[in-house]
Amino acid sequence: MNRFSLLASLIALGMGTASVLHANRQPNSASGASESVSQINDGAFRDGLYLGKLAAERGLAPHVATGRWSTEADRSSFTAGYQRGYKEAGGQASHPANAGAAVIVGVATVVGANPGPKPISMSADPSCSKQHSKAVLAQDVVADAKGRLQNVVVFVSDGLGDRAFDPPKTPAVISQKGCQYQPHVVAVQANQRLEVVNDDPTSHNIHPTPANNREWNKAELPGAKVEETFAREEIAIPVKCNIHPWMRGYIAVFKHPYFMVTKEDGSFDLQNLPPGTYTINAWHEKLGTASQTVTIGADEIKELSFVFKSI
């Protein structure tokens, strides 16, 4: 092969390589993604992409936490991936995360044989029973087919030191609807207003029985509303209705804002945590309490899983 033929072959090979690279950088029509080959092979970008989608799916505000990525190039790639993932998952930011704050996300599950919730009889009050077209089930253990557990209170139990927090101005609300407490478990901050509304056509009374707070017992006619507060931390206060004995619920009271009751899919998130080392507890009314210790840095997101054993 003479030198002119060799040069022509090298040019053709270069053009072919460029064509392949160009094709690989085109948007993926099946997924709607537009990551380049370098981004797909970039661990920092993939890490950010995953956590951005996770944040959006959990309804979190965007929180670009670069975590283990330390170089400027990796942090830039992580941020690009996070922003892409958040946008692709349809994230809608209701408020920005605090600069330098950390986030803990996770899921609570139950393993083992689960007999399922027991049915409740409301025959003692026809105004209650006629509101339900099918059997009403107890809410003490509510889990989906994958064991993801609802009504678990996840909270910081240690690590905040002597920090003080003002209670939120927005009240927490419990509705008495269908002769049940909705939600079954509610968490509030100490001295936060708690509104209890009677949305039933029958009378109720709301009767918390705390060990560390003032006990009260108030009657409510249909359409009525009462408002109370709890001054001290307590996890958790049993609540009952003396008129309808099947009505049971819990109120967890905290001296800080870092708590959440797990959703229907067992998920939780503790947002805007100061960097530090924390003990995170997960409390369930029947399955007990689980605990983990976690150290989390500024602008970091960590995942925790709490697994309870069925009883």
Q: Would you tell me which CATH number, out of the four given (3.30.300.30, 2.120.10.70, 2.60.40.420, 3.90.1150.10), belongs to the domain 102-309?
A: 2.60.40.420
pLDDT tens string, the chain, 311 residues long: the values are: 444 344 344 334 343 333 333 333 333 333 344 455 555 567 777 777 777 777 777 666 666 555 556 677 777 777 777 778 777 777 654 444 566 788 899 999 999 887 778 899 999 999 999 999 999 999 999 999 899 999 999 999 999 999 999 999 999 999 999 999 999 999 999 999 999 999 999 999 999 999 999 999 999 999 999 999 999 999 999 999 999 999 999 999 999 999 999 999 999 999 889 999 999 999 999 999 999 999 998 878 889 999 999 88
Residue 38 CA: distances (Å) to CA of 13, 18, 24, 45, 78: 21, 14, 10, 9, 13
CA angle 231, 234, 238 (to 5 degrees): 105
Cα–Cα distance for residue pair 42/161, rounded to 1 Å: 39
List, in order, residues 6 or more apart from 258 with CB less than 8 Å away. 155, 156, 160, 270, 273
Please report, for the chain, the start and end positions of each structural domain, with discontinuous segments joined by +: 36-96, 102-309
